Structure 1
Amino acid sequence: MSDQVRQAKEAFGSRLREIRKDAMLSGRQLATATGMHFTKVSRLEHGKQNPSEQDVRVWCSACGAEDQIPELLATLRGIDGMWVEWQQHLKGGLKYLQQTFDRFHEGASVVRSYESIVIPGILQTAEYSSAVLRIANDFYGADGRIDDAVDVRLRRQRFLHEGKQRFLFVVEYWALQSRFGDVDVMREQLERLLAITTFPQVSFGVIPPDVVRRMWPGEGAWIFDDKVAVVETTTAEMQITQPREIALFLRVFSRLQEHAVYGAEARSLIERAIRELD
């Protein structure tokens, strides 16, 4: 189990324990009131067993905490749904992995993206995307159909041109410097970003390397409206739907936006990265 999953389950168990203690019930008393075995109560409180939604309902009812049921259920569903193991995804190949990401774009009005080390996928050129996906294919031992995956990723750019959505991008300057492919590949990609900065439905910000930070850099994240945030880690794709956590992601993104420069200043940094290629 990934560390983040374990921590999320343990944190949820701690909340259940606090609810029980606030009701001044022992573990055995709660077990009697709910019909659970007392060992199950202990396992749930320590994050060793996954509670069902019915478990949460009877737990809160026994503790007189019915008002907490909706938020706890939202948190539980978030834990159950936020982790999709990469190997499970990759059974369908890199192409399938790319196709699954399209569903988040469909129906979203505002799409926010932050990247610290790589250009956001929807903005990538074919050659840059191929270089990035080649690394993923090699590392995860995928099906090797890189060209098919690149085609799917490039077709995602239709969302940029349909004019139905607003895109807000923030990238670290390091993402412009990290080399995927040779000099020609990188130059073409950076020139593509220069064009992107002129799109009316796109806000493209670059965080300068010398900015005095009020928010630390982090893993890349996509936020679709205020409904779901997607974070890709080495071991999994984390899908976050809990309203409080989405609000936190939006707050982080807002701070990162404040670090970034836009328009002519952003283009100046992109041109600087192009010059550094030589």
Structure 2
Amino acid sequence: MSGQGRFLVYEHNVIPGIFQTAGYARALLSFWIEFLDTRNDLDAAVEARMASQSVLYRSDKRFSVVLEEAAVRTQFGSSETMAGQLDRLMSVMSLPNVSVGIVPLRSDRKVVGSTGFWIYDDKLVQLETPTASIDVTQPQEIGLYLRMFERLRLPALYGREARSLLVSILDEIA
């Protein structure tokens, strides 16, 4: 990851792997292993996902994340697993190098993202499908994703308002 310091992340249906608890990751990855009929390396995959999260604690890395409310409401695993995941998300939101916005389901919006994506230092956009990872490197296309990210973040709730939304979802789970 040398040379990369700024990550812009948009997810519409899941909490990003870098924020996932082991239980949430296990529930999510279990589905894909079964659905895609791939080799069951679930333990190794969860361990790798957890290890990758150390980047969150590096002061030279900055994360700006926009999540749709559907991403934080969609339950993978038990209610306890989901409650732990939302608690983890609130914890990560307190890191000084992490900004998390949540777009409420009922927000006045002008744009809808069609797929999740990550932008690395304005030089690379990655999109993941169930069967492939797509790397976008053309400056003009990257510019479109940057514009999309800026528009997607406008209706998002941040700080106390985002935490309040997460607490209300936790109350619904309990």
Tell me the TM-score range normalised by the shorter chain. over 0.9
Match of 1:277 in 2: 173
Match of 1:130 in 2: 26
Distance apart, 1:106 and its partner CA: 4.2
Distance apart, 1:118 and its partner CA: 0.4
Matched residues in 2 for 1:222 and 1:259: separation?
Answer: 19
Corresponding residue SS for 1:157: helix
Distance apart, 1:272 and its partner CA: 1.2
Per chain length, whose mean CA-contact separation is higher, i.e. which structure has more relative contact order (CA < 8 Å, sep 6+)?
2
Q: What number of residue pairs does the alignment pair up?
A: 174
- Structure 1 position 213 matched with structure 2 position 119: no
Larger Rg: 1
- Structure 1 position 193 matched with structure 2 position 89: yes
Q: Taking every aligned residue pair, what percent have the same amino acid on both sides?
A: 40
Query: Which one has a larger percent strand, Structure 1 or Structure 2?
Result: 2
- Structure 1 position 251 matched with structure 2 position 138: no
Deviating beyond 6 angstroms after TM superposition, the runs of 4 or more aligned structure 1 residues are none
- Structure 1 position 147 matched with structure 2 position 47: no
Match of 1:110 in 2: 6
Match of 1:236 in 2: 132
Corresponding residue SS for 1:170: strand
Matched residues in 2 for 1:142 and 1:108: separation?
Answer: 31
Which runs of structure 2 are paired with 1:20-59 in the superposition (5 Å)? none
Match of 1:95 in 2: none
Matched residues in 1 for 2:10 and 2:142: separation?
Answer: 14
Query: Which one has a larger percent helix, Structure 1 or Structure 2?
Result: 1
Corresponding residue SS for 1:143: coil
Code of the aligned partner of 2:94: T
Query: Could you give the per-residue CA deviations for residues 134-182 of structure 1, whole angstroms, max 9, x where no partner exists?
Result: 0111111121010111111111111100211100110001111101000
TM-score by length of 2: 0.96
TM-score by length of 1: 0.61
Matched residues in 1 for 2:3 and 2:50: separation?
Answer: 19
Match of 1:52 in 2: none
Query: Could you give the per-residue CA deviations for residues 4-37 of structure 1, whole angstroms, max 9, x where no partner exists?
Result: xxxxxxxxxxxxxxxxxxxxxxxxxxxxxxxxxx
- Structure 1 position 225 matched with structure 2 position 133: no
Code of the aligned partner of 2:148: V
